[in-house]
Structure 1
Amino acid sequence: MVSEQEASDNIRAIFEDIKATHSHPGFASYYRGIANWPAFLSSVWQQVKIHVESDEYRARKSEILTFAQWIVEQRLDTQPLETLTGQPRPDEVGSIAAVFRYRFTTDLLLDVGLIQSMLGGIQAATRSRFSLQR
């Protein structure tokens, strides 16, 4: 993976654009991985960015978050974790989890799906060779 510190100015600019477009302080390591192919990263990001800025993308992201919230609310065993000495406070862990839940994970899921469809068509984005379902 290409680190921000070692990236060329062009790649660094793309990384900054990804962060700004997603309004994240960081970006998925997936992008660092494909930065090994700078022209590919540039082309893919420009195509993904169009979708990220669309109402449809925001709507799908909202649907994913709503479904995730529904799943959380269905949990029957909502006992809070006990705080152990020397462990992070629940509010600290909750803040980190919230960044992933509301911002990072949904954007990554949608972005990777878009890139998969660009590479292999819609079927590639709807199926995974790693799926447990047959």
Structure 2
Amino acid sequence: MASHQQQARQNAAETRGQAREKAGQMTEKGRETKDATMSKTQETAQSARDKAADTAQSAKDRTYEGKEQTGGFMRDKTEAAKEKASHAAQSARDTAQVGKEKTGSFFQSAGEQVKGAAQGAADAVKHTFGMGGEDTGRDESTGTYGRKD
């Protein structure tokens, strides 16, 4: 019986040894799997960071290009607006000058007509009261009555 117990103890010790060895193998395999997973996760994360950085840089570049294009567009539009405003101002100055010249001519002509009419009226009044001297008749070019001096 003692040998049977001894045999059972030996079998149990051998089974424990095998179990420990198997546990060690499984632990090692778990570590290797964990390490491989960690490595793959780190590679994937690095790849994602690189891709995000590239995307951000690309967006930044497109934004800068858009800003430059918009700036150029706005400069062109501003320059065109300035040029149109300058042309409009020059046209207004030219129109005002023409109007001023026409107004000056009109007032000069009107003044001469009023002066001639007043002289004619004065001559007519003088003639009516006999103060006009000798009558030479009406001057049709000026519309006044003349006298002989």
Could you say whether these structures have the same fold, taking a TM-score greater than 0.5 normalized by the shorter chain as the test?
A: no
Higher-Rg structure is 2
User: Relative to total residues, which structure has the larger strand share, 1 or 2?
Assistant: 2
TM range (shorter): under 0.3
What TM-score do the two structures reach when normalised by structure 1? 0.23
